[in-house]
Structure 1
Amino acid sequence: MKQNQNTLYLMTITLVATLGGLLFGYDTAVISGAEKSLEKYFIDGLDLSSLVHGATTSSALIGCIIGGIISGIFASRFGRKKSLIFAATLFFLSALGSAYPEVLFFTKGEPTIALLLTFNLYRIIGGIGVGLASAITPMYISEVAPAAIRGRLVSLNQFAIILGMLVVYFVNWSITSGQTVAWIDDIGWRYMFASEAIPALLFGSLLLIVPETPRYLALQGEEEKALHILSRINGKERAEAIMQDIKSSVSHSSAKLFTYGKLVITIGILLSVFQQFVGINVALYYAPRIFESMGAAKDASMMQTVVMGLVNVVFTIVAILFVDKVGRKPLLIIGSVGMAIGMFGVASMAYTNAIGIGTLIFIIIYTASFMMSWGPICWVLISEIFPNKIRGQAVAIAVAAQWTANYFISSTYPMMMEFSGTMTYGFYGVMSVLSALFVWKLVPETKGKTLEEMETLWSDKQAVSKDVSAS
């Protein structure tokens, strides 16, 4: 069957979709280079608290929550493709608005509360794009990918997220390299935000050439179009067999959220919450500040952030290579152990006040462990564990939970650090341990299973649960 797969066509549409992941990473990490300039411009300029600084740094996450909540409605009503085009438009508008929030209504160089709120509004608009892309991009890929390589292809989205972060780390570094702090605080941070408009425009343009997913088309009763796309990807014989499975699983276009029980929804939510409560976005959003606190100069801290980005890319590739061979559960558990070691190590360094190269090593151990496990595989599982008939709404709930947890962790970090660095990093270490126990006890292995087979798994579990309750 493999020889009938149109690999070039499959990879083309997958790579176009993963530009949504690249913009996800770009938008969430661009703040790392700009947050100190924003602090000087808005927070110090208006004499506001560290809590406001944390909220401003994390304001895009409010949009991410909104985007996650509405992603199910958009994906089900307008389709996966059109929803991603809308997300690309939001990325573009946010990039330009965040770079120059003073346009039309305010005077450059004169910070006001209204201007701060306007900046946050533009960041929220971009966040809505991130929330939509974070839910719909892996959904799109999982619905076009053959089961045998679905894990690798969905993991490419995480690779794109990390690549987007690495690209923006390089962009931020190149913008600040050789420049004075005064120039960076006046102009440089604006260039950082504006640079996102380029990949956003590319993403929106390329989406015009990719098809809608076969499973969405089948849900809409457009079976001929669905079969045509499946045939282009899998070959005619295999496509007809897949189409039969899809037709049987989508014979009713929708179902109530708890049709397959509460366990599958609970697992989806907890996967999302643990992915954030282990503290990864603290390392991503505040990386330059963390390295500066270790004694690095501003240019050096930006460069160390680039090094961390390279490590992230390498270990995401490890996940891509092994997710369909080793399976989802073993990689998640191994990653949780590595993250616990990294965070407890950083906590111990903070406790002894021995900030230095050891802290950098522990942070790299932590981020490498996350990138070869929870980073890509959480998205793989969220895209594949839910049955076809509830996937749109279930993914929306899981992604909204993820961004809510992200906002909570990211916005409370500055306040927690003021209280105790040891406690802060120790908390993330404890969450890493709990995430391993959760996966071991509750998360099913999905390696090699079709999306339709996952529906059977949850139907069987629900039937067993009902029998136990009845007895």
Structure 2
Amino acid sequence: MQTNASPSDAGTAKLGFVVAVVVIASLGGLLFGYDTGVIAGANEFLKTEFHMGAGMTGLVSSSIDLGAMLGVLIAGYMGDKIGRKKALSVAGLIFIVCSILTALATNVAELVIGRFIGGVGIGLASLLSPLYIAEIAPPRIRGRLVGSNQLAIVSGIFIVYFINAAIVSSHTDAWNQTTGWRWMFGMGAIPAVLFFLLLFFVPESPRFLMARGREQQAIAILERVNGREQARVDAKAIRDSIDMVPDSLFRELSRPGIRKALFVGVLLAIFQQFTGTNAVGYYAPMIFKAAGAGTNASFYDTVWIGAIKVIFVIVLMLIVDRVGRKRLLVWNGGFMALFLVILGIAFSLPHMLTWLVLGLTFLHTIAYELSWGGGVWIVLSEIYPTAIRGRAMSIASFALWFATYLVAQFFPILLQAIGGTWTFWIFAVFCIAMAVFMKKVVPETSNKSMEKIQTDWIQAGSSDSTSNSI
């Protein structure tokens, strides 16, 4: 017997389908967060266990970023060649291997290799998860849904911070020194297996299918997302955008508007890391111990950072489509600069106030998660044409991970050489620069279809070329 569903029921069903798909894709972000955050808890034990100095500690931490640099370079090609879904499945397998290798490591070289391999998976997921979500999400809630990937990242960080704290507090220092850190790494295999298995139940990106000539499959997925009528409209817009753009990255980048979009994306990616967020994330227990907290207290303070990240990414998801990407990134760039300046002053005081360092770290984290944390990934997933989106995002993401590597490698060295004051003031200068750049150069992308954003870049580039020739 056939029943007619009401329009509201149909809309709810479509939204439920989109949300389910986005949640599964976002697990790549959760693993991204877990594998980048786990080192914060393991660092102190690894330093003693393997007799590591500041330089070697930086290498172990940053080796995951080196792997991510490789991962993002191949992610765009893989995503464009075999599909977003299959490439994410490869990332899931890599996450499983990384967790096992690092948990069983017997020397620094094995740790570095295991984390480098995990970084490749992070590179794949960091690019492909938001790209896939952006390509399947309706424009009216795209910012919110792509922001869910950032929610997954910070949830992974929170989970691993909590696991680290639970392991440290429930065992002796001697046990943690030899075994506890292994459990920190090994627990990451659980969400990795879950991610890999659930990917069998999600569809391929409709924009990828259209680019490969599989139009009927693409339309069927678009109908499940937005309904039959809107699916036809969306399919035509996607088809026109693909016809407009040559399927060659270098030929497309010769066009002034797209070249500018790539330049903007690369600088946004670099600026995201020079906010100082990963310096805090990787070395939070070390920072809190330097400010006078005990070992257990520093780990629990770090858990609070993870909880704050989750809460304020949810706030970002609720407001990003209404307030706009640009306004949030400009305002909070200024706020982060202010908090870092005061944090630098706090580190210069003769008797460092633990509560002040903790409070400023929390405020910096809030400002970051309300803006540059998820906002950059949202903008990067929106500004490139469908035919070259994966490869263009690879270039921008490579720049992001190179900047992440520089921060992870040199932050402990800077902290040791010039102290917390000047280190945090350097990051503050970058926060001011990136707020100005966002204000002056980057257009708003809220509530526009991805095809409309592409057209705007091309038209702006053509106008610039005309102006320059006059």
TM-score range, shorter chain: over 0.9
- The equivalent position to 1:341 in structure 2, one of 329, 338, 341, is 338
- The equivalent position to 1:99 in structure 2, one of 91, 98, 103, is 103
Q: How does 1:31-430 map to 2 (within 5 A)?
A: 31-42=39-50, 44=51, 48-102=52-106, 115-251=107-243, 254-255=247-248, 256-261=251-256, 262-353=259-350, 354-420=352-418, 421-430=420-429
Query: Which residue is equivalent to 1:454?
Result: 453
1:101 deviation in Å?
2.0
1:465 deviation in Å?
2.3
1:257 deviation in Å?
4.2
1:309 deviation in Å?
1.1
Q: Which amino acid aligns with 1:98?
A: T
Q: Which amino acid aligns with 1:217?
A: L
Q: Distance in 2 between matches of 1:136 and 1:350?
A: 39
Q: Kindly indicate whether the alpha-carbon contact (under 8 Å) linking 2:246 and 2:252 is maintained by their aligned counterparts in 1.
A: no
Q: Distance in 2 between matches of 1:8 and 1:178?
A: 40
Q: Which structure 1 segments of 5+ residues have no match?
A: 103-114
Q: Distance in 2 between matches of 1:257 and 1:240?
A: 26
Q: Kindly indicate whether the alpha-carbon contact (under 8 Å) linking 1:257 and 1:393 is maintained by their aligned counterparts in 2.
A: no
1:253 deviation in Å?
5.9
Q: Distance in 1 between matches of 2:111 and 2:170?
A: 27
The 3-state SS of whatever aligns with 1:286 is helix
The 3-state SS of whatever aligns with 1:324 is helix
Q: Distance in 1 between matches of 2:134 and 2:238?
A: 13
Q: Kindly indicate whether the alpha-carbon contact (under 8 Å) linking 1:219 and 1:253 is maintained by their aligned counterparts in 2.
A: no
The 3-state SS of whatever aligns with 1:448 is coil
1:235 deviation in Å?
0.5
Q: Distance in 1 between matches of 2:465 and 2:288?
A: 53
Query: Which residue is equivalent to 1:112?
Result: none
Q: Kindly indicate whether the alpha-carbon contact (under 8 Å) linking 2:47 and 2:53 is maintained by their aligned counterparts in 1.
A: no
Q: Kindly indicate whether the alpha-carbon contact (under 8 Å) linking 1:64 and 1:128 is maintained by their aligned counterparts in 2.
A: yes
1:178 deviation in Å?
2.8
Q: Distance in 2 between matches of 1:123 and 1:219?
A: 34
Query: Which residue is equivalent to 1:23?
Result: 31
Q: Distance in 2 between matches of 1:375 and 1:277?
A: 11
Aligned residues: 455
Q: Distance in 2 between matches of 1:308 and 1:49?
A: 26
Q: Which amino acid aligns with 2:247?
A: S
Per-residue CA shift, 1:375-428, capped at 9, x if unaligned? 011000000011212211110001000000000011101110112221100001
Query: Which residue is equivalent to 2:440?
Result: 441
Query: Which residue is equivalent to 1:106?
Result: none
Q: Distance in 2 between matches of 1:50 and 1:31?
A: 14
Q: Distance in 1 between matches of 2:321 and 2:338?
A: 26
Q: Kindly indicate whether the alpha-carbon contact (under 8 Å) linking 1:257 and 1:394 is maintained by their aligned counterparts in 2.
A: no
Q: Distance in 2 between matches of 1:271 and 1:201?
A: 32
Q: Kindly indicate whether the alpha-carbon contact (under 8 Å) linking 1:385 and 1:451 is maintained by their aligned counterparts in 2.
A: yes
1:3 deviation in Å?
7.2
The 3-state SS of whatever aligns with 1:211 is coil
Q: Distance in 1 between matches of 2:399 and 2:9?
A: 40
Shift in CA distance, 259/149, structure 1 to aligned 2, threshold 3 Å: farther
The 3-state SS of whatever aligns with 2:323 is coil
Q: Which amino acid aligns with 2:253?
A: F
Query: Which residue is equivalent to 2:16?
Result: 8
Q: Distance in 2 between matches of 1:78 and 1:39?
A: 41
Per-residue CA shift, 1:161-197, capped at 9, x if unaligned? 0000001111111111131111101000000000000
1:356 deviation in Å?
1.7
Q: Which structure 2 segments of 5+ residues have no match?
A: 1-6
459-468 vs 141-150, which deviates more? Answer: 459-468
Shift in CA distance, 257/72, structure 1 to aligned 2, threshold 3 Å: farther
Per-residue CA shift, 1:349-395, capped at 9, x if unaligned? 11224232111111111011001110011000000011212211110
Q: Distance in 2 between matches of 1:260 and 1:370?
A: 33
The 3-state SS of whatever aligns with 1:446 is coil
Q: Which amino acid aligns with 1:413?
A: F
Q: Distance in 2 between matches of 1:339 and 1:269?
A: 20
1:259 deviation in Å?
4.1
370-379 vs 48-57, which deviates more? Answer: 48-57
Q: Distance in 2 between matches of 1:263 and 1:2?
A: 42
The 3-state SS of whatever aligns with 1:59 is helix
Q: Which amino acid aligns with 1:175?
A: I
1:258 deviation in Å?
1.0
Q: Distance in 2 between matches of 1:2 and 1:374?
A: 35
Q: Which amino acid aligns with 1:73?
A: Y
Q: Which amino acid aligns with 1:349?
A: A
TM-score, normalization by structure 2: 0.95
Per-residue CA shift, 1:283-337, capped at 9, x if unaligned? 1011111111121111111111111111111111111111000000111112112
Query: Which residue is equivalent to 1:107?
Result: none
Q: Distance in 1 between matches of 2:422 and 2:285?
A: 21
Structure with a larger share of its residues in helix: 2
Q: Distance in 1 between matches of 2:252 and 2:176?
A: 49
Q: Kindly indicate whether the alpha-carbon contact (under 8 Å) linking 2:133 and 2:145 is maintained by their aligned counterparts in 1.
A: yes
Identity, % of aligned pairs? 38
Q: Distance in 1 between matches of 2:447 and 2:10?
A: 19
Query: Which residue is equivalent to 2:463?
Result: 464
Q: Distance in 1 between matches of 2:272 and 2:306?
A: 18
432-441 vs 382-391, which deviates more? Answer: 382-391
